[in-house]
Chain A
């Protein structure tokens, strides 16, 4: 008797879950009003995480930065298409030799507590950005000295011709010297005081952040008078909040929820390719790849197959990227031919992806001198990847391994959690030279491919920097004096168009050399209700002033 009841009960449980799962006509409450009791315009935004700190210097991370950008301003800011615009610096001049920059600051700007914004605040902020606590030391890494010329003029001298100083300065938010000087870091984090479009109201950590519009803002006033950010890390809960109408806007919509959200009339989906490209690094410029690896590269004759461009091309062609986008990313990704996204400075439309061709891949491998051995494999490699950092990273890596296995390459799939992964592949091989083949992602919100070139393809050796600070993420040890020279030139070139054509050449060479294998650009997916209109940004920063109200 008891067993019968158990069975009946479990069947009912299954039925209930099936029904509730299938139910597509879920009621949405009329909560999607964007006006609160007083009729003021309010928007509620659900993010995938909380601001780690309201001290803008503590952590360099997308969500934290985006939230702090509401409170603070920088000297210059990127617009939606990542072009640099004046902000607290109204105008600037660069010397002919690209060494000296002069900034003319905006007058009449006030901090939230009423203090005036002057050059002293900029100097103070620069100083602080170089302190221990700061994660923004790189902003002034190319700067030799800076000084105040007068209350509204700053002079910055670089140690090398640097046409790209603004790409770094755009990350540096300006604090009020009078308020912050002498206070502890903890105090600064709990008492944010900036010049930005919004003022701080409340931060209940992990629950919500509330801002209200700064009526004395120096620039164009945003429509939303009150902004509430809700950090909701669990994607399903975020989606549920959207459906129930508790929030007006959600980010990072998981691909599986897109269809059901779209079927809801009052919810709109916005998607666009992000800046983040997922790609494979191969240690192709060394005879001794990853000596510290747990599972090292093994080839029949002891050589490094990655050194041979035919092998690299074979690996590229063995992967069916379209299938990956279709099946793993549910169509929400854009195939990448290069690191550089479309519309970026330095984007070269002539660089195309190599087509998927498994047969050709096998032929190339044979030609390269790595025929199948008795066990059917040509050589053995290890694919290192994270499993919780990029969208569906574990699945993508698994798919890649599968494709390679099909053409006779034995792949050990080594998936790790992000905190261990980034340790494992740490730049400059600080934690050992562990990887010869890994999958990572890269997104540079700077809009300057010269800087990307500096990091990704500038010559790098297994033993350390060739040029100090250059090639930090060049995991393949790609070395090419030609591209080095081009990159150096680009950095010193002030004219953006000229810079653009120089970098296009760089990327063409890098692609021809198959110095890395690009896979795809992730898509950013947002959802919002029809009380608002949203203009997304290329860098996935969510700003309340990109939101307009429909009524």
Chain B
């Protein structure tokens, strides 16, 4: 029985703007087990990133975590003070951001930025031990000549290299959980695969869990153990990767899977999900996906569907689950 490392219960993160309130994360609950890779997938604006930031409580005005429990290692993070949270961030749970070009501070050397994590969280290391560790970390993410490159500045690195540095930073204090927010989206396609592979290996090596947030279902299907599909702030389908990919039951998931281009098949047109993501200030009554769903019925427009179990650890929120199955 896998040990749960993170339990999120009824998380609600709302943004209060002068135009109105955006329910970016609306009553989301999920778990992450030790050492597993959870993929969180969905369109832009679906609430995936906000979920990630909420876990380490990095939500700023006008956003606010309204309610919910975030239980890490048995403790509710919502009850911790800012000082206590700072001990968790970077040490127990660390994060990888989307855009490597802007994640690193341009005025400090990369060595210093990695070292900062050690200074904060591994205080009993000596200066030379820290330096040694930084060099090892850089080596482990595949950066050659780490001794000299430690003194380089971010602008002297390419995008892919910078992301490696970011990964090294995230791993520096041996966290139990890494939240990766679209880590490869900003990279060239050729580099993407490399970075993903690297992350997968390291995560396995260090034995930490990974919450991989992305809009790219293809990427998820490669490395994730389980998948959460989010739409408009809600989880609408969750389950093992195999189940989701092969036996999806939600129309939205169907749309996502079908829109992955398949080089093996011969097709004239790319498939897409009709319609656009709704205005978050003006969500539809009933099911959020109803305006775009081809199976929409009257009840869908009136009543919001609850998550219901449709298989072993497979849940969806839909009034009319699909029969499921590969195309």
A–B contact, 8 Å CB criterion (strictly below): no
Chain B residues with CB under 8 Å of chain A are none
A interface with B by C-beta (< 8 Å): none
